[in-house]
Amino acid sequence: MKYYYARVSTAKQNLARQIELFKELGGNKRTIFEEKRSGANFEDREAWDELMDCVRSNDIIVVKNLDRLGRNAKEVRECLVKLADKKVIVESIDQEYLNEFLKTKLIDKTADSLAEAMLNAMLDTMLEVDLLRAEWERKELRRRQQEGIERAKARGQHLGRNKEEKYREKFKEIYPLTRNKDNPEYISVTKACKEIGCSRPMFYKMEKEVEFEKINI
């Protein structure tokens, strides 16, 4: 059985992007578990506890990023090891290159104490590098957004709803329909542009923004 775990750190953050992605991968209300928990109360994860009651040996848990499993690399590794002891496989969308490693080295391993120590050191290093990169990208995105707001204020620009924001609202509704040609409701980019009322360059600009946001959830 394949399950999906979506988590954000605060109640103000939006789970919609993670859930939309999981639905595209085949998730549904029964298999998608949603959580809004900060670092301060990370142990009190009701959805995660419910998921743990559901999973069995050889089940798969899909997450957007491994940092959804813990507050730091140590917690993420401990969580992965506990799940491996239950023969539960974890797959990360953002760190797809780690999925085979996690399965073969954690789930299928037959290691002595030295091999276990080497495995832990290797996993810690890989997680530290990847999680630090993800955190840096999130901070860099916030910094650029804040700089843009400050520059706009300095020019005396009003930061309320404008034409591009209206485009983006329509884009969020229509963009998913352009992703899968097998979808009965599929529409082409040309038709999507007409529906939104924007140019193709503007469409692709908004597409890049959406995809960039997905990898920094």
Residue 199 is among the residues annotated as catalytic for this protein: no
* Amino acid found at 84: A
Catalytic residue among 9, 38, 57, 113: 9
Catalytic residues: 9
